[in-house]
Amino acid sequence: MQKDPIHAVWRSHSTKWSRVGSPLRPTKEDQRIMMMLSTPALSHSKENSVVVVLGVTPELVQLSWPKNTRLLAFDHSADMIASVWSPHSRNPSSVQQVSWQKMPLSDQSADLVIGDGCFTVLPCADDYRNVLAESARVLKRTGLLVLRCFIRPERSESLEEVLAEVLAGQIGSFHALKWRVAMAIIPDEELSVAVTDIHATFERLFPDRDQLAKNTGWPRTAIDTIDAYHEMDTRYTFPTMSAFRKLALPFVNVVDIRQGHYELAERCPIFCFKPIYSPR
């Protein structure tokens, strides 16, 4: 097993990122929704607006930000920064290898914190709380936190149900299958799953990848992205909606929740939060 469980899977992912598709990466529809939800936070600044991007997701960094916007991207993985990061074509932008639990920003200095699927890489509930608290700390009182999150159903589906839908041709993409397998093997009382268990479960369900590709029409290159999870100690978290809202409540209030219309969009809601400030 890898000795660096948080970063190990991202070393592997960084070389395969171009092969990853929806719902793991945001669609054009997600981009439109996230920009729409972000706009009110950017309208209050008389000078430059500061946008903090959790990660280096190109679909967020390269949005059509207003001209007076400065982008600060923070990512824990040097490999993802090296492989995926690209500065904005027009706006001032920078990237640092930084833990989201301790961002190098002063209190109430950012207009917007935005991220896509980033909480899934946080290995436990305490990390959720720490990143939410840190996001609330750096946001101005008029600021917003906009996140697309991967949320599992309140009632978990079984692997038998997932397999039956694959055989019936009712799952449209390999990446949707990967997320459904991941969510299905998390015990109801748990938050996270080891990614090596996702890989092992997939191998057990679909031992013949060529046959899976033939039956579904999915490219082998997409199917083989599952190997990024092989023998990795990294854990992914997939809370239910009720669990996530409970984790968020001490630090941020929900302003809005939207979702797209693509496959599995109901498990990829986009939250808009405002920070909660304790009375002094």
Cβ-proximal residues to 107 (8 Å cutoff; 6+ apart), any chain: 137, 138
Judgement on whether residues 233 and 243 belong to the same structural domain of the protein: no
Per-residue pLDDT at 1 exceeds 50? no
Rounded mean pLDDT, 70-97: 96
Structural domain total, the chain: 2
- Is 74 part of any domain? yes
Res. 227 pLDDT band, cuts 50 70 90: very high
- Is 4 part of any domain? no
- pLDDT of 2 reads 41
- pLDDT of 14 reads 44
- pLDDT of 52 reads 98
Res. 17 pLDDT band, cuts 50 70 90: low
Report how far residue 34's alpha carbon sits from residue 31's, in angstroms, rounded to the nearest whole number.
5
Q: With pLDDT > 90 as the criterion, what percentage of the chain qualifies?
A: 87
The range of the structural domain enclosing residue 213 comes to 159-237
Judgement on whether residues 87 and 115 belong to the same structural domain of the protein: yes
Q: How far is CA 50 from CA 66, 67, 68, 143, 182, in A?
A: 11, 11, 9, 10, 35
Per-residue pLDDT at 280 exceeds 50? no
Judgement on whether residues 37 and 136 belong to the same structural domain of the protein: yes
